[in-house]
């Protein structure tokens, strides 16, 4: 059975618990406590007015790291693909975690999941990077209704290592990493050794997500990761929500949901969702701010320059609206159009969610 991997210095320094049984959650809680203590020991003194905190709880029986800064609380499940399970502000929920941890563990997207090594779908079960051809036919991975590989290998996947947590005045944060080169199944699907480092930082009314890919082997690594946040506005029917988007180019998709190579320019707009549905891909310009709003409820997400593509996903009848930051367009891995990271180099992308 897979276990959440922690830094060796933590597992070797943990004090014995005697006859008390060591559950996964209790061990996890102790490791987080050790990390918090280590972080605070580097400070001159703990501030009594600290409003940023990190603690451990459970969600449906699964260990969760809780980052809290004033009215804003973000919950992460490291053992289930580092999925974001909850994002609340002033007690109101802004994430849709449909199906809960078991849905994520089964490889289905929900909450705030990382899509890697590739996001969205691929046109076939093989792709070529340079002189290297990769066959996915026998690799266990998630596929869409047409049998195409979709959303990479990391949704719900264990193997994340908790690196640091920090609670301080005004913010709470954590960093975790995943060594893809040490996972045989991931390497079978994506034989480019690399490490992913994810940072979550919560401040009042805001969540920042930082993703860094480091090429750890002798090969350059294609970059095609993204995130699939299932947003909602609390106490607001989806049809009443207004969606704001900057000027952008919509990628024309075929019947399989793959880009045809054509693009259609769409000007900046704010539209009421009503009974509309979305499953659209876009190439973004320099303005990368998206908005969901209704009355006093407002969610803004801003992508940095490394997220040059976006996906809007809101199927009929769903309560959520996914605004997805992407480092490359759908099927870029098969098309050979991804950014590349040279051995020893890094690629970092960030997005920020603001809530009112």
Report pLDDT for 51: 75
The secondary element (H helix, E strand) that includes residue 114 is: strand 114-115
Query: Looking at 20-82, which runs of residues are DSSP E strands?
Result: 52-59, 62-69, 72-77
Report pLDDT for 5: 45
Report pLDDT for 10: 32
Which DSSP symbol is given to 216?
-
Report pLDDT for 50: 39
Give CA–CA dist 85/61, Å, rounded: 13
Strand bridging mode 5-6 / 161-168: parallel
Report pLDDT for 32: 57
Q: Which CATH architecture has domain 5-355?
A: Distorted Sandwich (2.70)
Give CA–CA dist 90/356, Å, rounded: 9
Q: Residue 121 in contact with residue 144, Cβ under 8 Å?
A: yes
Domain boundaries, the chain: 5-355
Give CA–CA dist 307/135, Å, rounded: 27
Question: Cα–chain-centroid distance for residue 107?
Answer: 14
Helix and strand numbers, DSSP H then E, in the chain: 5, 27
Per-residue pLDDT of the chain (356 residues; tens, 9 = 90+): 444 443 333 332 333 223 333 345 554 555 555 554 444 433 323 333 337 899 999 999 999 999 999 999 999 999 999 999 999 999 999 999 999 999 999 999 999 999 999 999 999 999 999 989 999 999 999 999 999 999 999 999 999 999 999 999 999 999 999 999 999 999 999 999 999 999 999 999 999 999 999 999 999 999 999 999 999 999 999 999 999 999 999 999 999 999 999 999 999 999 999 999 999 999 999 999 999 999 999 999 999 999 999 999 999 989 999 999 999 999 999 999 999 999 999 999 999 999 99
Where does residue 225 rank: exposed (0-12), middle (13-18), buried (19+ CB within 10 A)? buried
What are the CA-CA distances from residue 248 to residues 165, 270, 283, 290, 305 (Å)?
37, 13, 6, 11, 14
């Amino acid at each position: 059975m897979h276990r959440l991997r922690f830094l060796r210095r933590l597992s070797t320094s943990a004090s014995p618990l005697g006859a008390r049984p060591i559950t996964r959650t209790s061990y996890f809680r102790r490791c987080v406590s050790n990390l918090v203590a280590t972080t605070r020991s580097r400070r001159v003194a703990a501030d009594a007015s600290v409003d940023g905190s990190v603690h451990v709880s459970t969600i449906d029986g699964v260990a969760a790291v809780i980052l809290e800064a004033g009215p804003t609380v973000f919950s992460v499940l490291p053992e289930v693909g580092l999925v974001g399970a909850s994002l609340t502000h002033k007690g109101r929920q802004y994430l849709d975690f449909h199906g809960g941890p078991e849905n994520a563990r089964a490889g289905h997207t929900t909450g705030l999941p990382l899509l890697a090594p590739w996001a969205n779908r691929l046109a076939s079960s093989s792709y070529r990077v340079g002189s290297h051809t990769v066959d996915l036919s026998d690799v266990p991975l998630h596929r869409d209704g047409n049998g195409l590989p979709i959303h990479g290998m990391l949704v719900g996947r264990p193997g994340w290592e908790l690196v640091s947590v920090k609670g301080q005045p005004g913010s709470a944060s954590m960093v975790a990493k995943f060594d893809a080169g040490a996972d045989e199944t991931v390497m079978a699907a994506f034989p480019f050794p690399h490490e992913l480092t994810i940072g979550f930082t919560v401040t009042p009314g805001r969540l920042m997500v930082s993703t860094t890919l480091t090429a750890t082997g002798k090969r350059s690594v294609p970059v095609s990761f993204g995130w699939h946040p299932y947003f909602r506005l609390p106490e607001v029917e989806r049809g009443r929500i207004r969606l704001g988007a900057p000027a952008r180019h919509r990628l024309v998709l075929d019947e399989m949901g793959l880009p045809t190579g054509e693009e259609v320019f769409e000007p900046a707009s704010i539209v009421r969702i009503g009974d509309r549905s979305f499953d659209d891909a876009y190439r973004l310009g320099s303005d990368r701010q998206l908005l969901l709003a209704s009355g006093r409820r407002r969610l803004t997400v801003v992508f940095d320059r490394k997220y040059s593509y976006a996906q809007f996903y809101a199927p009929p009848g769903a309560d959520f609206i996914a605004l997805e930051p992407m480092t490359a367009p759908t099927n870029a891995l098969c098309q050979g159009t991804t950014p590349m990271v040279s051995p020893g180099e890094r690629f970092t992308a960030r997005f920020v969610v603001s809530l009112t």
